[in-house]
Amino acid sequence: MTISPASCARWILQEPDPATWKSIQDSPLGDSLPPLICRLLALRGLNDEKSARAFLHPKLAELSDPFLLPQMQEAVQRIFQAIDQKEAVILYGDYDVDGVTSLTLLTLTLRAFGLTVNSYLPHRMEEGYGLSREGLARSFEKHGKPHLLIALDCGTCSIDEAAWLRTEGVDCVIVDHHDPLEIKPDCLALINPKLNGAFTYFCTVGLVFKLAHALLKTRRLEHFDLREQLDLVAMGTVADLVPLRDENRVIVQRGLDKLTETKRPGLCALKIIAGMDGPVQAHHIGFRLGPRLNAAGRLDTAQTSLDLLLCENFNDARDGAALLDKHNRERQDVEAVVQKAAALMLDSDPSIAMASCIVLGSRHWHPGVVGIVASRIMREYHRPTLLLAINDEGLGKGSGRSVPGVSLVQALDSCRHLLIRGGGHPMAVGISLTEENIPAFRAAMSASVETQITADELTPRLHLDAELSLADLTPDFLQHYNELEPFGMGNPEPLFLCRHVEPQLPGQILKDKHWKLQLHQDGKMRPAIWFNAPWQNPPPPPWDVALKIQRHLWRGQESWQLMISDVRSAEG
């Protein structure tokens, strides 16, 4: 199978279902909305006025009963036993933002019920992801053997580890959103929405929010307001790239408001060092706050991030945020080295570069950044990508990222005879295997991917939501455009096609790679910026421009800027 690189993307203007679009436009809601907003709502599958109103104005009061999640009742009963009997409890988590925010939220909730808990985060390089015998042994050595261990953002596939906990006399509750195996872990409760197919869009911090809701619904606390913890839930939900739809949408929307006004010392210090001012948007989590919280777990231990979120003193929080910022800069340097090496591998071996699934490995790569680089290569080549960091003993540990239409978990199922371990989500997995098995694994993954998708479907496409003219960017349109936020997985930021635009050249080059321009069309002019632009060899104008509209807020002042995604010479 031969596949074009992403630079040859095919531009496709999406069309909403005509009946859906008309239904929204002809409704009382449609009378108050610009036609372009109605089109965007229809493209999101909102097929009537009721669903469109719920999307634009989601309400916390409409959240579902937390006991609809599988085995929630069993988990709540066991946790209240621990609370009432003052039992020893360990919260065992994951080192990414979802894992750390999950630990923070459950720690604060159980503290509110009067229970002191201990937390343990595995070390990425020494113990790897998830429940492991090494990690469990270290957690017991550090905190003593508990009566109850609650695994957060891991554990669904930890069959042997759950069995070992049972033999040790430790009760186990698992709260996780990763895809389950046919065999389930032997634990008291497994709160995983994928067991019954409901609420599968939640990441773990969303599930912990539902667990906290279930605890508070069972035994009300006057001094603990779960709504005040939504800043944590928004952080983990956006950073974990789960769909921002249904309950996730209202949780993140309200959580961003809480994050804007948060008094939590750790998040206040993190916002300051990230150079943030004013209302927080989802992309701030994705590109400023999330990477700094993730950096500690990638290069060292995520305990720094957990301590920051639990910190109650601003001076300590400021020091912790500065350390995370330092880790993030170090992570960027390490990532650049891996990115360059991976690019050289792809340039030197076209057979790997043009396979239907890219698999690369090296003994010189840091395991903490291979997932980030895999994501970038996936976007550049538009095909599933897995990168492995191989240790001195020849054991490769890595991460994979996928494209729409390809489930990496399904692809791994045909390769399990080559793996030591592997699992995750359809779009992101973690794996481990021996170095000698990498060539066979590469071939098996490519064959498996080809059973799910065709070469034509793997040809990169630039999906455009609507045509837009610069004259459309009126205050009324921009005000209603705000209501489509938060953008993210499941509600992607709209990409617009703006035809026959004249750029004011040469423009301004920023940091030798970003291009700041003024765009002209039919007497209207708007500022735009093109990140990582081919400014030395642009297509001849006039241009057709694929762009996004981004809202900027600085010291209370709102402004709008066009963010260029791609450009071609104007057609027609």
Burial environment of residue 347 by CB neighbours within 10 A (0 to 12, 13 to 18, 19 or more): exposed
Number of CB atoms found within 10 A of residue 476's CB: 11
Q: What's the CATH class of domain 62-261?
A: alpha beta
User: Does domain 349-458 sit in CATH 3.40.1790.10?
Assistant: no
Question: What would the mean pLDDT of 327-349 be, rounded to a whole number?
Answer: 94
Q: What pLDDT is attached to residue 513? A: 83
Give the start-to-end residue ranges of the domains of the chain.
6-57+462-569, 62-261, 349-458
Categorize the per-residue pLDDT at 556 as very low, low, confident or very high, splitting at 50, 70 and 90: low
Find the angle CA(564)-CA(554)-CA(261) to the nearest 5 degrees.
115
- Enter the pTM of the model: 0.89
Distance CA 479, CA 483 (A): 7
CATH architecture of the domain formed by 6-57+462-569: Beta Barrel (2.40)
pLDDT at 560 over 80: yes
**Cβ proximity of 406 and 381 under 8 Å:** no
Categorize the per-residue pLDDT at 127 as very low, low, confident or very high, splitting at 50, 70 and 90: low
In sequence order, the 6+-apart residues with CB closer than 8 A to the CB of 349 are: none
Digit-coded pLDDT (tens) for 388-402: 999 999 999 999 999
Q: What pLDDT is attached to residue 6? A: 43
Burial environment of residue 364 by CB neighbours within 10 A (0 to 12, 13 to 18, 19 or more): exposed
Question: What would the mean pLDDT of 535-539 be, rounded to a whole number?
Answer: 83
Digit-coded pLDDT (tens) for 36-94: 999 999 999 898 899 999 999 999 999 999 999 999 999 999 999 999 999 999 999 99
Categorize the per-residue pLDDT at 510 as very low, low, confident or very high, splitting at 50, 70 and 90: confident
Which carries the bigger pLDDT value, residue 302 or residue 359? 359
Q: What pLDDT is attached to residue 512? A: 78
Digit-coded pLDDT (tens) for 201-235: 999 999 999 999 999 999 999 999 999 999 999 99
